[in-house]
Structure 1
Amino acid sequence: MGRLDMLLIWLPQPAGFKLMALFSTLDAGIQEVLAAWKARWDLERVHRLLKQNLGLSKCLSRSYATQLKHADLAIEALHLIRQQKQLHPDLSWRTAQHNAAKTLKSQLLTVLPALSA
């Protein structure tokens, strides 16, 4: 398997500290391992957001192309919701979702007929 390094990190929490153990097979220094871990963790958080709030896990297709398009649409939905939250910071997540859906529906109803003409 090769070399396996373990890095122990104490993370500050509201009520003290939390011990985390990071394992790595990378041939890199501590800073590089931490940067890779942080990038991976950010990706995990986005993936969880897409699965839990935007229906990424609800795609029942087995076709790679369809799954890829479903993921594209989920990411586009996230982008539209974030735009709504930037325009109106006081909106709840659910209201921002609703507003983004109405905006997209309106765009689709006005753009598609123009394209078919």
Structure 2
Amino acid sequence: MFVIDTTGSMGGIIQATLDKARDIATRMNGSARSARVGLVEYRHYGDGFMARTVQPLTEDLATFGTALDSLYADGGGDWEEAVYSGIVTALAEDWRPSAARTIIVMGDAPAHDPDAHRVHGVAGRRVPQR
């Protein structure tokens, strides 16, 4: 799963980030027997969403590429972003039980304090306490 920051601060590097994600997915697909890739975008607390799945896990690289092409930089606020919301959203995807799971986070800012993340949760769900 690729978890990509799409806040406004990514504006100058969003295309390079998407190109790198496409390159990594293509290489991964060429080296794994049945690799699946998916895409989550995250933004900032207070934006229209903190994190959402743009493309569920798929073996279809063209579909993944179309999902990448739909991303654009917008929103944001303070320096920290909803990185943990992106990761939790990716972890909630439909992973195969036997899959080697990898999450690649791409962004330009640190995560909000995890305690704030647990308060806000993801998509209306509370995040479990450690």
Q: Aligning the two structures, in what range does the TM-score lie when normalised by the shorter sequence?
A: under 0.3
Q: TM-score, normalised by structure 2?
A: 0.24
Bigger proportion of residues as helix: 1
Greater length-normalized contact order (CA 8 Å, ≥ 6 residues apart): 2
Instruction: Pick the structure with greater CA Rg.
Output: 1
Q: TM-score, normalised by structure 1?
A: 0.26
